[in-house]
Structure 1
């Protein structure tokens, strides 16, 4: 597809609005979670545009479509299982790819573009980016993961700071609000690694997991947005002031500074 012949995405955006509307319910608690995911998707679209800026009109279009479709599976997931925790329901990214195919959302695109977007959507929640994908698919997947993290951080910060009766119940994944942080998540961050979801025991551990995502950022534009939005600083005030916690936070801060310095920011 040449950049001159890019399709209008307005029909796809209209479809997404109708799709969200199809899940409307008088159950306020459930609707709060659906609203959370609709707002999240729109913000991921915004952040995907910020990151993709300057990477070419065609790639920017692919980024917009992938961002709009990446969490389609979250809606039936929460309707059917009342959780956003994949391990207690199903893989929401795989379900998002199924929804795209079921509704033939990408039929207006050439086959190569469809395959690229489908892979990015299906793999966006993988622990790591798999090896051996085509270069454009790898770039799109990395961009989608970056944009997704940027807004998940916002969602969680707002969740933690909201009164308990106004929180979208799914955002905390059901972890108990216990004091301190567990040994395994602390050790992973100290080792410069992402925290595994399976090692979490508490809400504080979940915060550490999200801090560790900074190790998995791909694009300089994302690093700049992390700094501009004070993501690390906002998590610091939500975590215990234990010496071992403060040390790993300082380490992540040094890592972020180094990455920004390397990219000339």
Structure 2
């Protein structure tokens, strides 16, 4: 992966402007991409992939957010609903730039496909079994590291960035009952229902319903992500059943 990482580093450098705030957000996505690669490398050995599929999964993990950099340059936001679908933008970017140092057409197609699908609410039925598997690897790896980043920004005394928390309001007591209902029904939360940072916490918790591999659920549990996210929510009786629901899913 050394040549791929070198290409990615040069790609990111092309978007840096010297503005400390903008470059901070772009470097955050750079670090995130490298950590998602690490997460994918921890998941794939448990799945019995052939060498080409494993390589494609790792490369897709590294490049999954290729669209974030032109997105931020054009719109100064990471919120797709206020700008552009960064998964599709990333796939288009890789089609224009070329998937770095990959001659195998199958691998190139899998990488672009996984990048395009990694941020979908659900995978479309037209995805082949092989593409769907790779997209699920990237989706799990992405979620695991996003939770790390968001906890850094949401916990008391943590970093603060309106861009990272998608410009949501800070209100310690407010949350969306609709997202709680979605979690209790076994669904992931709806971005459009988010109004406050508590809603983002709920959304992150809802992702346990979309962790596809036992290794991913185990990592989420053992790293204390569920404990810390639940601890950020207000003490409200409407949230009492939520804890049991989350741990029941993680223990499957």
> Which of the five TM-score ranges fits, normalised by the shorter chain?
over 0.9
> Which blocks of at least 5 consecutive residues in structure 2 are unaligned?
none
Q: Name the structure 1 match of 2:221.
A: 227
Q: Name the structure 1 match of 2:39.
A: 47
- Counterpart pick for 2:147 among 142, 148, 153: 153
Superposed, 1:78-227 pairs within 5 Å as 78-106=72-100, 108-161=102-155, 163=157, 166-178=159-171, 179-227=173-221
Q: Residues 162 and 168 of structure 2 are in contact (CA less than 8 Å); yes or no, is this contact kept in structure 1?
A: no
Q: Residues 36 and 168 of structure 1 are in contact (CA less than 8 Å); yes or no, is this contact kept in structure 2?
A: no
TM-score, normalised via structure 1 length: 0.89
How far the C-alpha of 1:133 sits from its partner, in A, is: 2.0
Q: Residues 106 and 114 of structure 1 are in contact (CA less than 8 Å); yes or no, is this contact kept in structure 2?
A: no
Distance 1:36 1:169, change over 3 A: farther
Deviations 1:134-165 (A, max 9, x none): 2211110111100000000001001113757x
Q: Name the structure 2 match of 1:37.
A: 29
How many matched pairs?
249
Distance 1:241 1:187, change over 3 A: same
How far the C-alpha of 1:106 sits from its partner, in A, is: 5.0
* Larger mean Cα displacement after TM superposition, 21-30 or 101-110: 101-110
How far the C-alpha of 1:250 sits from its partner, in A, is: 2.2
Distance 1:157 1:227, change over 3 A: same
- Counterpart pick for 2:14 among 15, 19, 22: 22
> Which blocks of at least 5 consecutive residues in structure 1 are unaligned?
1-8, 260-265
How far the C-alpha of 1:112 sits from its partner, in A, is: 2.1
Q: Residues 32 and 168 of structure 1 are in contact (CA less than 8 Å); yes or no, is this contact kept in structure 2?
A: no
TM-score, normalised via structure 2 length: 0.93
Deviations 1:53-97 (A, max 9, x none): 142332221111101111011111112211100000001111111
How far the C-alpha of 1:182 sits from its partner, in A, is: 1.4
